[in-house]
Structure 1
Amino acid sequence: MDRKYRISKVFNNNVILVTDKNSNQELVLVGKGIGFGKKDGKKVILSESDIEKSFIAYDEKTKTEYFQLISQMNSNVLGVSEEIIALAEENLGRLNSHIHIALTDHIGFALDRIKMGMEISNPFIYEIKALYSEEFRVGLMAAEIIKDRLDVEISESEIGFITLHFHSARQNKKVNETLKDTKLIKDIIELIENELSVTIDNGDLIYTRLINHLRLSIQRLDEKKYIENPLLDSIKEQFKYSFAVAGKIGEYIKKEKNVDVPDDELGYLAFHIERINETKKLMKRNVTESNKK
Structure 2
Amino acid sequence: MGKGIGFQAKKGKEIDKNLVEKVFYLETQTEVDKFKELLANLPLEHIQVSNEIIMYADKTLNRKLNPNIYITLTDHINFAIERFRQGMLFDNPLLWDVQRLYRREYLIGEYAVALIGKQLGIKLPVDEAASIALHIVNAEFSNVMSETMSITKIIPQLVEIVRKEFQIVVDEQSIGYERFVTNLKTLMQRIVNKEQLDRIDQEFNDMVQKLYPREYQCSEKIAKFLEGYYPDVVLAEEVAMLSTHIRRLILGSQSNE
TM-score by length of 1: 0.67
User: How far off is 1:211 after superposition?
Assistant: 1.2
Secondary structure of 1:61's counterpart equals helix
- Specify whether residues 60 and 69 from structure 1 end up closer, same or farther in structure 2 by C-alpha distance, changes over 3 A only: same
Match of 2:196 in 1: 224
Secondary structure of 2:50's counterpart equals helix
Q: Counterparts in 2 of 1:85-234, with a 5 A limit?
A: 85-88=54-57, 92=62, 95-115=65-85, 116=87, 118-121=89-92, 122-125=95-98, 126-129=100-103, 133=104, 139=109, 142-154=112-124, 157-221=127-191, 222=193, 223-226=195-198, 228=201, 230-234=203-207
Match of 2:227 in 1: 254
Secondary structure of 1:54's counterpart equals coil
CA deviation profile, 1:20-59 (whole Å, cap 9, x unmatched): xxxxxxxxxx334325999xx9556643454332334574
Match of 1:245 in 2: 218
- Structure 2: give runs of 5+ residues left out of the alignment: none
Match of 2:53 in 1: 84
Q: Which is worse superposed, 228-237 or 196-205?
A: 228-237
Distance in 2 of aligned mates of 1:156 and 1:230:
49
User: How far off is 1:214 after superposition?
Assistant: 1.6
Relative contact order higher in (CA < 8 Å, ≥ 6 apart): 2
Match of 1:25 in 2: none
Q: Which is worse superposed, 103-112 or 88-97?
A: 88-97
CA deviation profile, 1:257-284 (whole Å, cap 9, x unmatched): 222222332223233434555677788x
Contact 1:31 1:53 in 2 (8 A): yes
Q: Counterparts in 2 of 1:271-286, with a 5 A limit?
A: 271-274=244-247
Distance in 2 of aligned mates of 1:225 and 1:143:
38
Distance in 1 of aligned mates of 2:248 and 2:33:
52
Secondary structure of 1:258's counterpart equals coil
- Specify whether residues 136 and 72 from structure 1 end up closer, same or farther in structure 2 by C-alpha distance, changes over 3 A only: same
Q: Which has the higher strand share?
A: 1
Distance in 2 of aligned mates of 1:277 and 1:138:
29
Root mean square deviation of aligned Cα: 3.7
Distance in 1 of aligned mates of 2:22 and 2:159:
41
Secondary structure of 1:53's counterpart equals coil
Distance in 2 of aligned mates of 1:48 and 1:148:
32
Aligned length: 249
User: How far off is 1:188 after superposition?
Assistant: 0.8
Contact 1:59 1:97 in 2 (8 A): no
CA deviation profile, 1:108-167 (whole Å, cap 9, x unmatched): 1222344426153324221112xxx4x556555544542332123455543333233234
Greater Cα radius of gyration, structure 1 or 2: 1
User: How far off is 1:251 after superposition?
Assistant: 0.7
Distance in 2 of aligned mates of 1:278 and 1:87:
34
Secondary structure of 1:55's counterpart equals coil
User: How far off is 1:202 after superposition?
Assistant: 0.7
- Specify whether residues 88 and 31 from structure 1 end up closer, same or farther in structure 2 by C-alpha distance, changes over 3 A only: farther
- Specify whether residues 78 and 58 from structure 1 end up closer, same or farther in structure 2 by C-alpha distance, changes over 3 A only: farther
CA deviation profile, 1:163-212 (whole Å, cap 9, x unmatched): 33234334433222223223322221122223334442211233123212
User: How far off is 1:106 after superposition?
Assistant: 1.0
Distance in 1 of aligned mates of 2:230 and 2:160:
18
**One-letter amino acid of the structure 1 residue matched with residue 146 of structure 2:** N
Aligned with 1:54 (options 10, 23, 27): 23
Contact 1:168 1:174 in 2 (8 A): yes
CA deviation profile, 1:229-254 (whole Å, cap 9, x unmatched): 75533442454333222111101111
Aligned with 1:266 (options 228, 235, 239): 239
**One-letter amino acid of the structure 2 residue matched with residue 34 of structure 1:** I
Distance in 1 of aligned mates of 2:206 and 2:141:
34
Distance in 2 of aligned mates of 1:160 and 1:211:
17
- Structure 1: give runs of 5+ residues left out of the alignment: 1-29, 287-293
Contact 2:196 2:238 in 1 (8 A): no
